[in-house]
Amino acid sequence: METYEKTIMVTGGAGFIGSHVVRFMVNKYPKYRIINVDKLTYAGNLENLRDVEDKLNYKFVKADIVEDEEMQKLFDVYKFDGVIHLAAESHVDRSIASPTEFIMTNFVGTANLLNAAKFHWQDDYKGKLFYHVSTDEVYGSLGETGLFTENTPYDPRSPYSASKAGSDHLVRAYYHTFGLPVKISNCSNNYGGYQFPEKLIPLFIHNIKNKKKLPVYGKGLNVRDWLYVEDHASAIDIIFHKGKVGETYNIGGNNEWKNIDLIRLLCKIMDRKLGRELGESEKLISYVKDRAGHDLRYAIDSSKLKNELGWSPSLVFEEGLEKTVDWYLNNPEWLENVTSGDYLKYYEEQYLNR
Ligand code: NAD
Ligand code: DAU
């Protein structure tokens, strides 16, 4: 029987970022056993992991982190040395439509995992680590200037960000109160392949391809700091292995874009790739009712991560966006599969009366 140096539970590994993290860890660390624990909600998709599913050091377990006893059982069975916790309800618009699921998965689910880790590890914390993956949205909304640092006070403004902020506080509380070895990272907006097309970039690629309207919230002046998802995975790897226990690290792309500027760039790239006349896709832009409580601007200062651990993004945005467009155009079945069925109902409810 194969012996492994470490057994790591990755929660939410069938989702967008989780699948990139699983792929990265399974390939880079053949001596680690990676156990992907995922409930497979609408956002979880095992198609995202086809290329690693047969690897000996990878295993998928379908489970809900809200089920306390199940989490305890998994710790019993697999004797995890580490947790990389990504499972979450992650879409802000859905959190406005139904907040409770966000509180259950993001807050209660995180508490269950912390309890299971504490219970199984408390006799000897040596070599153990609970790594919590969080978001820059916990810091609230910036004005025209300034950056989020690790010391920016929390000011979450959507049910999604409030539930993530709550989970961050719980993780820190278990560190201070029980000595549980934890690390947290707060990352800006990710983009890349395998992202569910409810989020801006894959949704707009899908709509442009199908000549559907591009629903821009408000005036399109909100600003986000975009990071290529594989760079997020590499940052998680570095923090997991080299970050200090008890610390928080901000991860960002140093890459701010006003939504409308990003959308125009995306339209240009798509026109070129689809052989359409330049300017054709921009005609699909349609300004719609703004998102409730829409945060104006996010921007991350990731100098701590750069200076202490030597991480920086590997791609410039234009290059990453081209790669991302190519990925969706080269994987039409993936896009078709996730945009049929329940997706159509979601889309109608979300956008019909905007
Ligand atoms: P996602 O919605 O694509 O994937 C979430 C995954 O979690 C899915 O596979 C889903 O099935 C699983 N899941 C949901 N509820 C579960 C439950 N109760 N039990 C077990 N599994 C469950 O999300 P994502 O965009 O990949 O985000 C992953 C993590 O990274 C989240 O914690 C999110 O807050 C954080 N994050 C995301 C971004 C971003 O831009 N997407 C940026 C910063 C941080
Ligand atoms: O900052 C990190 C966060 O980034 C993550 O924690 C979240 O999980 C992730 O979903 C993302 O949140 P945003 O709300 O910023 O991402 P979204 O793709 O939903 O929206 C990006 C911007 O585009 C935002 O200003 C809203 C706008 N938008 C979005 C959609 C879906 C539109 O104008 N139209 C749309 O149809």
Would you say the pTM of this structure is higher than 0.85? Answer: yes
137 lines ligand 1 (CB under 6 A): no
Distance CA 140, CA 148 (A): 9
pLDDT of residue 150: 98
Separation CA 302–CA 306 (nearest Å): 6
DSSP 8-state class, residue 346: H
Which pair of structure tokens corresponds to residue 170? Answer: 């719980």
136 assigned to active site: yes
In the chain, the domains with their CATH numbers are: 6-196+226-258+294-317 (3.40.50.720)
Per-residue pLDDT tens digits for 245-276: 999 999 999 999 999 999 999 999 999 999 99
Rounded mean pLDDT of the chain?
97
Does the beta carbon of 64 lie inside 6 Å of ligand 1? yes
Helices 159-178/110-121 angle, 10° precision: 20
Phi-psi bin for 82: left (phi > 0), alpha (psi -120 to 50), beta?
beta
CA of 199 to the centre of ligand 2 (A): 6
Does ligand 1 lie within 6 Å of residue 40's CB atom? yes
Reported as a single tens digit per residue, the pLDDT across 81-122 is 999 999 999 999 999 999 999 999 999 999 999 999 999 999
Model pLDDT, residue 342: 85
What is the reported pLDDT for 341? 84
Residue 14 Cα to ligand 1 middle (Å):
9
pLDDT score of 1 more than 70:
no
Q: Within a 10 A sphere around the Cβ of 236, how many other Cβ atoms?
A: 27
What per-residue confidence (pLDDT) applies to 223? 98
What tens digit of pLDDT does each residue of 144-181 get?
A: 999 999 999 999 999 999 999 999 999 999 999 999 99
pLDDT of residue 140: 97
**101 Cα: distance to centroid of ligand 1 (angstroms):** 13
pLDDT of residue 343: 86
* Predicted local confidence at residue 74, as pLDDT: 98
Q: What is the pLDDT of residues 320-346, one digit of tens each?
A: 999 999 999 999 999 999 998 888 888
3-state secondary structure of 7: strand
